[in-house]
Amino acid sequence: MQLDTLTVKFQKRGLKLDIVLLSIALYLSKLIITIGLIIYLNLASTVDINLSDAFNSNLDKDYSIIKLLYAIIISPIFETIIFFHITHWISRKIKISMKLFIIISAIAFSIPHALVLGGGSFQIYYILYSFIGGLIFAHNYNRQYYKYNVNYALGSTTVIHIIGNALVLYL
């Protein structure tokens, strides 16, 4: 009986560590892509480009509570269900590899984000960032699904997504 309790504690500790590490990876990917974009624009551009256009989601800090709830809580829940839970279920039913599931989910996740957030010359920034985020989320969903169960997969992926959205909105 004690061994089972100890095993559950280690599993929960491992899950928390996964959530923290993947949230950090998500934020670092944004930082690396942002720095790369700035370097690219400074080296390759002969025109004066307003970099604030690349980060327009962070410029308007006057968010209403409804927009915040939608962006930080509601949207990640629905996106996790649609882009990761349902695609994982379909992938298992049609028996495609989990590596292909991760790529398909990341592409499916990045397209609407790039269309909604991206615009003009900075669309590639949103495509890259949301694709890498999609890879992180899909990898986590797949890992937690097979390591624990579907509830851990849904919960941890949603939590990482919520943390990622909060970081993007406030940093």
Give the model's confidence band at 138: pLDDT under 50 very low, under 70 low, under 90 confident, else very high. very high
Residue 36 domain boundaries: 2-46+64-170
- pTM given for the model: 0.75
Amino acid identity at 50 = N
Instruction: Give the number of domains in the chain.
Output: 1
Whether 57 is covered by a domain: the verdict is no
Whether 103 is covered by a domain: the verdict is yes
Whether 53 is covered by a domain: the verdict is no
Angle at 157 between CA 96 and CA 15, to 5 degrees: 105
User: How do residues 79-93 score in pLDDT, each as one tens digit?
Assistant: 999 999 999 999 999
> What average pLDDT does range 34-43 have in this prediction?
65
The percent of the chain in helix, strand and coil, each rounded to the nearest 5, is 90, 0, 10
How far is the C-alpha of 64 from the C-alpha of 89, rounded, in Å? 35
Whether 55 is covered by a domain: the verdict is no
How far is the C-alpha of 2 from the C-alpha of 155, rounded, in Å? 26
> What average pLDDT does range 56-83 have in this prediction?
76
Whether 56 is covered by a domain: the verdict is no
